[in-house]
Amino acid sequence: MRKNIVAGNWKMNKTIDEAVDLISDLKNLIDQEAELKSQVIVAPPFVNLPGVSKVIEDSKMHLSAQNCASEESGAYTGEVSAKMLKSINCEYVIIGHSERRAYYGEGDAMLSRKVDFALQSGLKVIFCLGERLLEREKGEHFKVIENQLKNTIFMLNEVDFANVILAYEPVWAIGTGVTASPGQAQEIHAYIRELITKNFNEQIANATTILYGGSCKPSNAKEIFANADVDGGLIGGASLNAEDFIAIIQSF
């Protein structure tokens, strides 16, 4: 049975003191929950990972990085390897976020290398995919999704693929305040699961967690998460406020 997951991507926000305050507030709220119906993951900026890790080491939360290098080690100034992330207690890493694709030109070949190094280092991968507004308006969104999968994680074997969580993020709905309707989210999530069935098998498809990312907030999370093929969310702005994030976690 697949997991429900709520993951908070803090992006480039919070100094170390602010990060510790936020994660401490969130930990206190989560500790008050009698039963969590989803796994909770937080993804702070690189410099805040050790501080956040220390706060959550005895909690119900899990630690993720927002990115990793496409090389194992070497003369790559400014980069952080998957092995380094594993060494500071990261369990997950986000790969393929639309902002990395758009602002830093990360294409399928680079993303595949990142995925490979992450998995080899013992990290689990939250792999992002999604279409831009123009692609949706042209009716190309299904093909875009298929290609993003076919050229990257569908090249993995079944054992490695089991350590991948997918996050569908319509690029036109990230940070815009516009959200895909529950019907639109379900349509794409069901399509992704169908593609997994075709590439692997139905058992693997039914075991794969697929998250929704794109202006998900307390006011719409419950309706989005109610869809049969939506297993949680990759949350951006709303994860920077402990009360908002816990409200989304409680939407299951």
The mean of the pLDDT values for the chain is 95
Please report the pLDDT score of residue 186 as a whole number. 96
- For the cut 80, the answer to whether the pLDDT of residue 179 exceeds it is no
**Residue 101, C-beta contacts closer than 8 angstroms, at least 6 positions apart:** 107
* Catalytic position from the list 62, 97, 141, 189: 97
Domain ranges of the chain: 5-249
The Cα 209–Cα 196 span in angstroms is 11
State yes or no: pLDDT of 174 exceeds 80.
no
Q: How confident is the model at residue 137 (pLDDT cuts 50, 70, 90)?
A: confident
pLDDT for 215 equals: 84
- CA 36 from centre of chain: 19
**pLDDT at site 149:** 98
Q: Which among 62, 131, 169, 189 is annotated as catalytic? A: 169
Confidence tier at 173 by pLDDT (50, 70, 90): confident
Helix (H, G, I), strand (E, B), or coil: what is residue 204?
helix
The percentage of the chain sitting over the pLDDT mark of 90, rounded to a whole number, equals: 89
pLDDT at 177 over 80: no
Q: What is the pLDDT of residues 198-247, one digit of tens each?
A: 999 999 999 999 999 988 999 999 999 999 999 999 999 999 999 999 99
pLDDT at residue 176 tops 90: no
Q: How far apart are CA 229 and CA 209, in angstroms?
A: 9
Question: Which string of DSSP letters, residue by residue, matches 2-63?
Answer: PPPEEEEE--S---HHHHHHHHHHHHHHHHT-S--SSEEEEE--GGGHHHHHHHHTTSSEEE
Residue 210 CB partners (closer than 8 Å, separation 6+): 165, 166, 167, 168, 189, 192, 193, 229, 230, 231
Using alpha carbons only, what angle is made at residue 182 by residues 91 and 112, rounded to the nearest 5 degrees?
35
Confidence (pTM): 0.97
User: 69 near 36, Cβ under 8 Å?
Assistant: no
- 169 in catalytic set: yes
Give the pLDDT confidence score for residue 48 in this predicted structure.
Answer: 98
Which tens digit of pLDDT belongs to each residue from 181-212?
889 999 999 999 999 999 999 999 999 999 99
Instruction: Report the pLDDT value the prediction gives residue 142, as an integer from 0 to 100.
Output: 96
Instruction: Please give the structure tokens belonging to residue 106.
Output: 């990360």
The residue-averaged pLDDT of 81-99 equals 97
Distances from the Cα of 104 to the Cαs of 15, 27, 107, 126, 173, in angstroms? 23, 33, 9, 18, 19
Say whether pLDDT at 171 is over 90: no
| H or E segment and range at residue 83 | helix 82-87
* Residue 102, pLDDT score: 93
Q: Which CATH number fits domain 5-249: 1.10.1060.10, 3.30.420.40, 3.20.20.70, 3.30.70.20?
A: 3.20.20.70
- 17-46 residue pLDDT tens: 999 999 999 999 999 987 899 999 999 999
- On the question of pLDDT at 133 being above 90, the answer is no
> pLDDT above 70 covers what percent of the chain?
100
Query: What mean pLDDT comes out for the span 86-93?
Result: 97
141 classed as catalytic: no
Whether 63 and 92 have beta carbons less than 8 Å apart is answered as yes
Asked whether residue 91 carries a pLDDT value surpassing 90, the answer given is yes
